[in-house]
Amino acid sequence: MRRKASLVLLAFAVFFAALSPLMRWYAFPRLAKIPANQYQDMVLEAKGATLLDYGTMKARKVSKVTIVQTLKGDVAAAKKVDRATGRDVVVWDGLSYVQGPDGKMVSQIPERYIFDAHSQAPVHATGEMVDGDPVKRTGIEFKWPFLTQKRDYEYFDAQTRTTNPIHYEGTRNFRGLTVYYFEQTIPWTKVTFPKVMPVKGITPESVAKTGTTRWYTTVRKFWVEPVTGAPVYGEELHKEELRGGTLLGGRAKVTAFAGDVKMREDYTRHTLALVKHNRTLVLLMTSYLPWGFLTLGVLLLALSLYLEARGRRPADPEPAESETPEPVTA
């Protein structure tokens, strides 16, 4: 009986020991993916910002500039790219909508971002664009990969349409959560005007005829939870200028926008709670279950060997029966 129990325990020990690496190296890449239909929005604010008044073409201080960023998964487009590339991808249609304190539109820049659902690496396919202009991204955007490393990454900048290093600057504590802090500086760069301008009748083409150009620089900061690769907080020291041309009336340059853009507090709390939840799910596949299965396998193996050893131990000899003399009869 002990031998049968030992063999059963040994079988379970082998099963759980084999399941440990399978969970980490086989199941995790196939299960940990960004949903193709994901929708998320984010509100950022720049309080006490400088904004260009296009009526007077002069910069003025305003109480607040609001940036609403939305990302919406296009399931049908993702399936189409899946069939063409043989990869499991996500297609995000993004929109960065900037409005002044009066609620009027300052700028809006749409994007289509196509990337691998697990690794977050960009996937090149028809439709990839920024503000209607075809682009071929390299590097990440919006999200870091699962199990983010303590190293620099390549990060795509939508304004300049270029990829630049974003530097790992150390491990920090953000509201009780361990995060990696990354920072990227984009130097002053000449960029295109948005396709949709804030003043009716003005187009990028009409502005280009005046000789006025648009320049941009930013210091981009992210606090990234490393297990999920999700930023829990973001900030940008953002500046834009118009330079030269007849549009400025002889001035060399004028500030179009300048402000410290930060995530709004309610969205910060919501993002933090969501990331903590998803972090637990990822840790189940990468740490808790693999190590748990391995530990269980070792314990079952030890118990199996113990029962096997008990089964092989020789039995104690039975005591000899005492011989009693038969009674003698006369």
pLDDT (tens digit per residue) in 303-322: 888 887 877 766 555 555 55
Residue 209 DSSP symbol: H
Summarised one tens digit per residue, pLDDT across range 54-73 is 888 899 999 999 999 999 99
Q: pLDDT tens digits for 120-169?
A: 999 999 999 999 999 999 999 999 999 999 999 999 999 999 999 999 99
> Taking the model in full, what pTM does it have?
0.88
Rounded mean pLDDT, 34-60: 92
Query: What is the rounded distance in angstroms from the CA atom of residue 160 to the CA atom of residue 158?
Result: 6
Range 262-287 average pLDDT: 95
- For residue range 157-210, what is the model confidence (pLDDT) as tens digits? 999 999 999 999 999 999 999 999 999 999 999 999 999 988 888 888 898 899
Q: What are phi and psi of 143, to 5 degrees?
A: -140, 145
Q: Nearest CA to 112 among 169, 154, 70?
A: 70
SS3 123: coil
Average pLDDT, the chain: 91
Q: Return d(Cα 179, Cα 150) in angstroms, integer.
A: 10
* Helix, strand or coil, per DSSP, at residue 226: coil
pLDDT of res. 236: 96
Dihedral angle, C-alpha 130, 135, 139, 143, nearest 10 °: 30
- What residues does each domain of the chain span? 1-31+279-313, 32-263
Q: From the centroid of its chain, how far is CA 165?
A: 17
Region of residue 241 (phi > 0: left; psi between -120 and 50: alpha; otherwise: beta): beta
Question: Average pLDDT in the 99-112 region?
Answer: 93
Q: What percent of the chain has pLDDT over 90?
A: 77
In tens, the pLDDT along 214-224 reads 999 999 999 99
Question: What is the DSSP-derived secondary structure letter of residue 246?
Answer: G
* The pLDDT of residue 2: 63
For a pLDDT cut of 70, what percent of the chain falls above it?
Answer: 94
Range list of H helices, 246-288: 265-283
pLDDT band at residue 330 under the 50/70/90 scheme? very low
What does the alpha-carbon distance between residue 87 and residue 118 come to, in Å, rounded to a whole number? 10
Strand, coil or helix: 155 = strand
